Amino acid sequence: MLTKRIIPCLDIKDGQTVKGTNFVNLRHAGDPVELAVRYCEEGADELVFLDITATVDKRKTLAELVKKIATHINIPFTVGGGINSVEDVSVLLENGADKISINTAAVRNPQLINDLSATFGSQCVVLAVDVKNFDGVWKVVTHGGRTPTELIATEWAKKAEDLGAGEILLTSMDHDGTKNGFAIEITKEISTSVSIPVIASGGAGSMEHFSEVFTIGQADAALAASIFHFREIEIGELKAYLKKQNISVRA
Amino acid sequence: MDVKIIKYNAGNIQSVIFALKRIGVEAEVTDDLEKILSADKIIFPGVGEASSAMKYLKQRKLDEAIKSAKQPLLGICLGLQLLCKNSEENNTECLGIFDTEVKRFRSNDFKIPQIGWNNIEPIPNELFKGIVKNSYCYFVHSYFAEIGEHTIAKTNYINDFSSALKKDNFYGVQFHPEKSAETGEKILKNFLEL
């Protein structure tokens, strides 16, 4: 039986893992490769690395980091953060990334989704959709949550699927870092509107939250960062809990 | 050991190179027919679309090279599908090593493609030596090979399908051993030890 995936996410700034609340107030969480190896051993199903470095030689340092990760881990991993072109993706894949995630660039130029899936296959194109609730309407926001758009979240997800996105990584900005639980409603709405997998992100604080997002939210995978980095929840323990709830996970 | 990975226009194969490196093998990626046919082991990877992949293989006579291989050859994902008789993906006639049809998943209730970890039920076989029943492997695919006489492992998603096939020196796995943690590493090692 296909299992629900647990995906730790590592936000990378200048080669170090960091984690903030609602995308600000960053604190350090250690060496990304060491953390990645630890997560592999603990039974993570995939990993996501989001590079939030803004310096000019970002590309080069990111490529080096990706290569180091690829050398050390034996599960799929996605790399995102500031990807703008086929060329950017090509460099990351050559260095061993399995998938890439795009966000702002895809909103600005939806054709990029098409170009990437035509060049590399849709299996490696993860569309990150950051959403925020504006008076009951879930809309897409960009630039790490700072810029609102007029895109309706579900419409955008459907369009991205048509353009060739392979998966949707859905983050609720209202929930991210709060530990109050995932955005269940919008996760369910999008997951039942598209046929590609949806990875829910933002708000995980307890094991119940994961169980909720898989059952009621119908997410295919769930992503979290700080609760794993700071060992508030251990992946093994979480999987044992989910199994007890009759949710299929890789033991 | 001389391991060659067949080079053709099929997506990202770096993961396979890195996985082999992790188990201590430096493989060369090539479309040189002589080099491929003189290797100890051949890996036929692939993500992508069946008809354009077959066209590319034919243009470079890689199709004949694959069919004439006498050494162990491992098809991965699209590689497995191309070793079958034909594929529903753009009605493509494939290499015909395995007497098996490749069909598209059909369902209103399940996500397509299947992406993620699913368990395999292998029958006792040298490729799966030391792999227990229901071990998890990582899959990404919309098409599947039907169950048939060459099936050596099955998996269920929407329906039962062949997660691995074998005929003579030809092996195929639908999942990605290069991304399937310890289970995948063990399977790759078993293949290299054939």
pLDDT tens string A208-249:
999 999 999 999 999 999 899 888 999 999 999 999 999 999
How far apart are alpha carbons B91 and A149 in whole angstroms?
A: 42
| From A45, A130, A176, A220, the catalytic residue | A130
pLDDT tens string A13-34:
888 888 754 444 556 667 899 9
Q: Which residues of B touch A196 (CB under 8 A)?
A: 111, 113, 115
Of A5, A4, A3, A6, whose CA–CA distance to A225 is shortest?
A6
**Domain B3-192, classified CATH 3.40.50.880, yes or no:** yes
ipTM above 0.90, yes or no: yes
- At residue B157, does pLDDT exceed 80? yes
pLDDT tens string B122-138:
999 999 999 999 999 99
pLDDT at A146: 86
pLDDT at A22: 45
pLDDT at A27: 61
Q: At what angle do helices A153-163 and A111-120 cross, to 10 degrees?
A: 40
A76–B179: do the CB atoms touch at under 8 Å?
yes
pLDDT at B88: 96
pLDDT at A118: 87
Mean pLDDT, to the nearest integer, of A90-109? 94
Query: CB-CB: which of A1, A93, A220 is closest to B118?
Result: A1
Q: What percent of chain A has pLDDT over 90?
A: 79
pLDDT tens string B47-75:
778 998 999 999 999 999 999 999 999 99
Mean pLDDT, to the nearest integer, of A161-167? 97
Provide the token pair at A125.
């194109």
Q: Which of B9-23, B91-105, B152-166 has the lowest mean pLDDT?
A: B9-23
Mean pLDDT, to the nearest integer, of B30-50? 92
B156–A120: do the CB atoms touch at under 8 Å?
no
**For chain B, domain boundaries:** 3-192
A123–B21: do the CB atoms touch at under 8 Å?
no
A31 is catalytic: no
- In single-letter form, the type of residue at position A73 comes to I
How far is Cα of residue A152 from the mean position of the Cα atoms in its chain? 19
Q: Which residue has the higher pLDDT, B46 or B143?
A: B143
